Amino acid sequence: MKRIHAPVLCAIVPPHLLDRLASAEDPDIAQAARRTLAHDASLRAARRAGVAPGVPPALASAEPAAPEPRRTVYDAGHRTALPGVRVRGEGEPPLRDATVNRAYAGLGATHDLLWSVYARDSIDAAGLPLNATVHYDRDYDNAFWNGGQMVFGDGDGRVFLDFTLALDVIAHELAHGLTQYTADLAYQGQSGALNESVSDVFGSLVKQRALGQSAEEADWLIGAGILAPGVSGRALRSLKAPGTAYDDDVLGRDPQPARMADYVRTSSDNGGVHINSGIPNHAFYLFATDLGGRSWERAGQVWYDTLAGGRLAADADFADFARQTVASARARFGRGGPEDEALVKAWSTVGLPTEEDA
Residue bearing the bigger pLDDT, 293 or 49: 293
Please choose, from the candidates 207, 357, 225, the residue with its C-alpha nearest in 3D space to the C-alpha of residue 294: 207
> Sheet containing 143-145: which strands, arranged edge to edge?
10-11, 143-145, 150-152, 130-134, 71-75, 85-89
pLDDT, mean of residues 248-268: 96
pLDDT attached to residue 357: 43
State the maximum Cα–Cα separation within the chain, in Å, rounded to a whole number: 58
Average pLDDT for the chain: 92
Measured CA to CA, the distance from residue 143 to residue 14 in angstroms comes to 10
Of 33-42, 83-92, 321-330, minimum mean pLDDT range: 33-42
Q: Is 92 a catalytic residue?
A: no
Residue 58 has pLDDT above 70, yes or no: no
pLDDT attached to residue 46: 63
Q: Alpha helix (H) ranges present in the chain? A: 15-22, 27-48, 98-118, 167-180, 189-211, 269-272, 278-291, 298-308, 318-333, 338-349
Q: Is 172 a catalytic residue?
A: no
Exposed e or buried b per residue across 40-69, where buried means at least 16 C-beta atoms within 10 angstroms of its C-beta: beebbebbeeeebbbbbeebeebeeeeeeb
Burial class (CB in 10 A: 0-12, 13-18, 19+), 34: middle
Instruction: Kindly indicate the confidence band of residue 350, based on its pLDDT and cuts at 50, 70 and 90.
Output: very high
> What percent of the chain is predicted at pLDDT more than 70?
91
Other CB atoms within 10 A of residue 314 CB: 14
pLDDT, mean of residues 34-46: 82
Measured CA to CA, the distance from residue 15 to residue 62 in angstroms comes to 33
Catalytic residue among 39, 135, 172, 173: 173
Instruction: Kindly indicate the confidence band of residue 41, based on its pLDDT and cuts at 50, 70 and 90.
Output: confident
pLDDT attached to residue 5: 43
pLDDT per position as a tens digit, 174-219: 999 999 999 999 999 999 999 999 999 999 999 999 999 999 999 9
Catalytic residue among 135, 274, 282, 339: 274
Question: Roughly what angle, to the nearest 10 degrees, separates helices 318-333 and 298-308?
Answer: 120
Please choose, from the candidates 309, 305, 303, 311, the residue with its C-alpha nearest in 3D space to the C-alpha of residue 281: 303
**What single-letter DSSP state applies at residue 62?**
P
Question: Roughly what angle, to the nearest 10 degrees, separates helices 298-308 and 338-349?
Answer: 70
Map residue 243 onto helix, strand or coil.
coil
All domains in the chain, ordered by first residue: 10-180 (3.10.170.10), 189-349 (1.10.390.10)
pLDDT attached to residue 9: 78
pLDDT attached to residue 44: 66
Residue 344 has pLDDT above 90, yes or no: yes
Q: Which helix (H) or strand (E) holds 238?
A: strand 237-238
pLDDT, mean of residues 62-72: 71
pLDDT attached to residue 48: 55
Please choose, from the candidates 194, 182, 204, the residue with its C-alpha nearest in 3D space to the C-alpha of residue 125: 182
Strand partners, 130: 71
Measured CA to CA, the distance from residue 322 to residue 39 in angstroms comes to 35
Instruction: Kindly indicate the confidence band of residue 356, based on its pLDDT and cuts at 50, 70 and 90.
Output: low
Other CB atoms within 10 A of residue 353 CB: 15
pLDDT per position as a tens digit, 272-291: 999 999 999 999 999 999 99
> What percent of the chain is predicted at pLDDT more than 90?
86
pLDDT attached to residue 355: 72
